[in-house]
Structure 1
Amino acid sequence: MKHATCLSFLGTGSDVGKSFVVAGICRALKNRGFSVAPFKAQNMSNNSFVTLDGLEMGRAQVVQAEASGIEPEVDMNPVLLKPSGDCRSQVVLQGKVVGSRHAKDYYKQTDALFAKAMESLNRLRERHDVIVMEGAGSCSEVNLRSRDIVNFRPAHETDAPVILIADIDRGGVFAQIVGTLEVIPPEDRARIAGILINRFRGDISLFEDGVRWIEERTGLPVLGVISYNREILIDSEDGMDVQTQINPSGALDPDKINIATILFPRISNHTDLAALQCEPGVEVHFLTRPKSLVGYDLLILPGSKNVRSDLEWMRKNGWEERINAFAQSGGSIGGICGGYQMMGQSIQDPHGVEGSPGAESGLGLLPTETVLAPEKRLTRNHGTWIGNRRPVHGYEIHMGRTRSSSEELRPAIAWSAESATAEANSDGLSTPDGKIWGTYLHGLFDSGPFRQEFLSNLRPDWQPPAQQNPLHLAPGEDFENFKARQYDRLGDHIEKCIDVEKLIAIGKLHCEIC
């Protein structure tokens, strides 16, 4: 029976680029003929995805699976924590919600969760040559070590060599590395087999003496110095991508389609806007501070892990008045998932799904009422956007059930025969002129034909720039094709920056077809 070798990539801190590096390693090994799969025992993120079998997992491992050339599955991310408030998260175990836990209660269950995570890992190991494992945060949080299930514990369990990733861009890279090695227990220190330096800017030859110092001081090989590359775009785990514009100053460019989206404190699935961010001639602004929306062609209310709390935040900060003024002036407003729920008349949470039971009045932009149910809806869907008759595809992931009694408004999407159910053959709601709309479909803008038609209808005078660059989608290109090109570029970048042969030797990796 096949039993894949495991490689573990742990970080000196949070946001050192582990997810990016692991995706690149997956692509590089895949290009060399290895059957490779990613694994992260526990992930904390409100950016999630629905698998083909209707289960939920974190998007970071989705990206890594795509880079590996395989279909994402929940065994790659068996434990997903979705923060819904201070010190409280929804717990998703092997793709299914098992409840909401306070941090103290969650830490009492880590042994049982680790056993489930190892079940998932063993299933992956039976079908692949290599499992590339990713840690979380800093691997040297000594106060959390006894409860940790995602850093050294999986590495010890699978006898996996550990590669330590440090981020030189944030400064103090020598202290990051030496400090980590100093505070971890000897058994953890003995498992580290190499070091990677991530996000280097400038002439790497100028850091050769730094590499020598690290190797002499630690006795560990530096397997590579990865240069900072802003020309590769892949979905981030939870933070915003490098091209994200948050509260930009200055006037709007009249030659571009300008889209505003409100950056909620508990925003979820902000990757729904990624395709628009990569569309030439389009600017997407994420806004936290209330401002006039005059001049924007579209306002999008994105997903939220806690709709009522984010509604309250908007009201306290004066956003509701700005949104109403924009709607009354004829502005276009769209809502996705939680944003769609906010646009209605009310959101009711009788079971306390997202906090204390209760209800909140919505923005009143659509004649809908939403009730949060204990069961989460998880499904992949295909259909047609009724307003322009173009195909759309994506996934639904929500607790809310939204209903409308209006006979004047039309659904936003007609589901295909494969996606239609006895419960619903359509989704969302739209005004007849298409100015105000909402949908539960995540990934709406990934469809190239839909996106191109949608933008053309939004601004009939708009023409995308003729000149293309690697950070832009081609006209009418599906986002999946764009991402595949980015993974190829990432794999090439990793090959240039890392000694992959030495990594293969450290891991004693074996490929059945190589």
Structure 2
Amino acid sequence: MNAPNIAVLGTGSDVGKSIIAAGICRYLADKGQRVAPFKAQNMSNNSGITPEGLEIGRAQIVQAEAARIAPHVHMNPILLKPFGDKQSQVVLNGKVHGNHTAMDYHTRKAFYFEKACQAFDALAAGYDRIVLEGAGSCAEVNLMDTDIVNFPMARYADADVILIADIHRGGVFAQVVGTLACLPDDYRDMVKGIIINRFRGDIDLFRQGMAWIEQHTGKPVLGVLPWYSHFKIDAEDSVEIEKINDFKLLEKNIPAVAILRLPHIANFTDFHALARIHGLQTVFIDSPKQLDRFTAIIIPGSKNTRKDLTWVMERFETPLNDYVRKGGHVLGICGGYQMLGQWVKDPNGLEGSPGQTRGLGLLPVQTLLQSPKTTTLSEFRWGDAYGRGYEIHMGATQLTGGVPFIRIVSRNGIPVNETDGCLADNGQVAGTYVHGFFDFNTIIKKWFDLIGLDHPLDFSIDAAIEKDKDYDHLKKHMETYLDLEALI
């Protein structure tokens, strides 16, 4: 008889479910178990591509890496990518299924739950255990009847539930007790233990608190997980993009790169490899103040390119043009690449209202948004430097000048010989569709050469190797502070 599956549910959003699920995956994999992650429905603009060229949430890719397996579309059959206040693009089994308002999607929950169960069954057939991740709070009483990702999915998977609470945001006793009080008896009985996450300070001072929680809930506290800073795991959502304009933290003699914090920013994990480099500072900004302080400005991906482009034009058009005129360097990735051009057209309203939006005009390119969506794992070369990343975009961009930026040599494992992106004649402005552009040191070095960054930087850290080491650090962190044997 197989051991039970494990469902990691939370008292709220961003309490650490994704990362704790990743740690459990690494722990079980190192125990010799065939383990895979699963999230029925994910809402995030931080997505990635599986080896078969299908799109899923980035969190499940991270969890698959932690489990030492390749990501698969069955791990996240439903992905919602918000592009407006009340609308999301629905990605079903890795492909665009359409755009829905919240109410439209709500009325189709039975259909989507059936698809999620089918994906779970297909995934579970090949593994010993599944580690499921919930979404948001698992005790939203007004949504419980149509919930397809928390307790209903855990029950379908016959999974033991671990409840995660975040002590850093305060009110942890109310989080735990209140969550359990909101659950019906059958759901409450599924909860086998509690983890208190993001603790700061002396854990011994919380022993009495742990005892109080156990006494008032009848559930064991499996441990208190301290805040960590000695390793980094890609998260589905991240507080780092909420910390903007930290100019006061910049050190004068250390070069810095700024990333525009777009309202609909996508795939912010593109810049984790830069953030790892000793001797380089990365800062998210939403204000054009102090642009001259930065060696380069990056415009990242967006889930609503034209809407974000309007925001960029209002705030940054003149400052960015002045910055480039004074010799500054700008790089656009995916939606950011499109924004650097002359215009972006969306005749069919793929990302909102049909129309055309004028671009920054810093690159001689023009973009037409159109179906189908490009989703590929892509290998590329920039001169003699090799890189590997992924493409997720709707639309095609045509060069009217400049030169192609990089050359794509394979997509989804199939050799190709195609160009991507654009480099302006002045050599200061460039754009590419490739996410994960900075994941290889050879590419980072070449970009530093392009932007004239000759500061003695430390390239001793290889992003791929360091990422795998971080999963081991996460496992050790959890082994130290949690009763993992009881958990599994």
* 2:388 pairs with 1:404: no
CA distance in 1, matches of 2:429, 2:324: 8
CA distance in 2, matches of 1:373, 1:246: 32
Report the equivalent of 2:122. Answer: 123
CA distance in 1, matches of 2:387, 2:333: 14
Report the equivalent of 1:264. Answer: 262
1:232 Cα offset (Å): 2.0
Q: 1:205–1:333: structure 2 CA closer, same or farther, 3 Å change rule?
A: same
Instruction: Provide, for residues 439-473 of structure 1, a one-character-per-residue CA deviation record: whole Å limited to 9, x for no partner.
Output: 000000001111123224433531025xxxxxxxx
* 2:470 pairs with 1:486: yes
CA contact (8 A) 2:38 2:120 kept: yes
Report the equivalent of 1:390. Answer: 385
Report the equivalent of 1:66. Answer: 65
**Amino acid paired to 1:323:** L
CA contact (8 A) 1:292 1:322 kept: no
Instruction: Provide, for residues 311-350 of structure 1, a one-character-per-residue CA deviation record: whole Å limited to 9, x for no partner.
Output: 111233x211111111111111110000000011110001
Report the equivalent of 1:278. Answer: 276
CA distance in 2, matches of 1:134, 1:492: 21
Q: 1:421–1:10: structure 2 CA closer, same or farther, 3 Å change rule?
A: closer
**Amino acid paired to 1:198:** N
Instruction: Provide, for residues 484-512 of structure 1, a one-character-per-residue CA deviation record: whole Å limited to 9, x for no partner.
Output: 010010011111111111112xxxxxxxx
CA distance in 1, matches of 2:413, 2:325: 34
CA contact (8 A) 1:3 1:128 kept: no
Counting only pairs closer than 5 Å after superposition, residues 263-342 of structure 1 correspond to structure 2 as 263-316=261-314, 318-342=315-339
Counting only pairs closer than 5 Å after superposition, residues 15-34 of structure 1 correspond to structure 2 as 15-34=14-33
**Amino acid paired to 2:408:** W
CA distance in 1, matches of 2:145, 2:382: 50
**Amino acid paired to 1:373:** Q
Report the equivalent of 1:354. Answer: 351
CA distance in 2, matches of 1:129, 1:392: 34
Counting only pairs closer than 5 Å after superposition, residues 68-147 of structure 1 correspond to structure 2 as 68-147=67-146
Report the equivalent of 1:50. Answer: 49
Report the equivalent of 1:430. Answer: 423
SS in 2 for 1:69: coil
CA contact (8 A) 1:384 1:390 kept: yes
Counting only pairs closer than 5 Å after superposition, residues 190-205 of structure 1 correspond to structure 2 as 190-205=189-204
1:432 Cα offset (Å): 4.4
CA contact (8 A) 1:4 1:131 kept: no
Report the equivalent of 1:415. Answer: 408
CA contact (8 A) 2:51 2:412 kept: no
**Amino acid paired to 2:50:** T
CA contact (8 A) 1:413 1:428 kept: yes
1:251 Cα offset (Å): 7.8
1:241 Cα offset (Å): 4.0
SS in 2 for 1:450: helix
1:15 Cα offset (Å): 1.0
CA distance in 1, matches of 2:87, 2:79: 13
CA contact (8 A) 1:382 1:415 kept: yes
Greater RCO between the two (CA within 8 Å, min separation 6)?
1
Q: 1:281–1:146: structure 2 CA closer, same or farther, 3 Å change rule?
A: same
SS in 2 for 1:33: coil
Report the equivalent of 1:173. Answer: 172
1:423 Cα offset (Å): 9.0
Q: TM-score, normalised by structure 2?
A: 0.96
CA distance in 2, matches of 1:280, 1:480: 16
Gaps of 5+ in 2: none
**Amino acid paired to 1:22:** A
SS in 2 for 1:247: coil
**Amino acid paired to 2:468:** A
1:33 Cα offset (Å): 1.4
SS in 1 for 2:247: coil
1:434 Cα offset (Å): 2.9
CA distance in 1, matches of 2:453, 2:348: 46
CA contact (8 A) 1:383 1:419 kept: no
Bigger Cα displacement from structure 2, 351-360 vs 21-30: 21-30
CA distance in 1, matches of 2:169, 2:104: 34
Instruction: Provide, for residues 231-275 of structure 1, a one-character-per-residue CA deviation record: whole Å limited to 9, x for no partner.
Output: 120111022449x85201338534322111110000001111110
Q: Give the percent of matched residue pairs that are identical in Structure 1 and Structure 2.
A: 47
Report the equivalent of 1:503. Answer: 487
CA distance in 2, matches of 1:35, 1:114: 25
SS in 2 for 1:9: strand
**Amino acid paired to 2:291:** L
Compute the RMSD of aligned alpha carbons: 1.9
**Amino acid paired to 1:458:** I
CA distance in 1, matches of 2:480, 2:415: 53
SS in 1 for 2:289: coil
Bigger Cα displacement from structure 2, 179-188 vs 133-142: 179-188
Bigger Cα displacement from structure 2, 64-73 vs 450-459: 450-459
**Amino acid paired to 2:319:** R
SS in 2 for 1:85: coil
Q: TM-score, normalised by structure 1?
A: 0.91
1:422 Cα offset (Å): 10
What is the number of residues matched between the two proteins?
Answer: 488
**Amino acid paired to 2:301:** G
CA distance in 2, matches of 1:180, 1:422: 52
1:51 Cα offset (Å): 0.9
1:292 Cα offset (Å): 3.5
CA distance in 2, matches of 1:270, 1:489: 22
Report the equivalent of 1:442. Answer: 435
CA contact (8 A) 1:342 1:362 kept: yes
**Amino acid paired to 1:415:** I
Report the equivalent of 1:253. Answer: 251
**Amino acid paired to 2:198:** R
**Amino acid paired to 1:128:** Y
Q: 1:152–1:499: structure 2 CA closer, same or farther, 3 Å change rule?
A: same
Report the equivalent of 1:345. Answer: 342
CA contact (8 A) 1:3 1:125 kept: no
Bigger Cα displacement from structure 2, 207-216 vs 456-465: 456-465
SS in 2 for 1:146: helix
CA distance in 2, matches of 1:499, 1:238: 26
Instruction: Provide, for residues 404-434 of structure 1, a one-character-per-residue CA deviation record: whole Å limited to 9, x for no partner.
Output: 132xx22111122667989961100102453
1:308 Cα offset (Å): 0.7
CA contact (8 A) 1:245 1:284 kept: no
Instruction: Provide, for residues 62-93 of structure 1, a one-character-per-residue CA deviation record: whole Å limited to 9, x for no partner.
Output: 11111111111111111000000001000000
**Amino acid paired to 2:262:** F
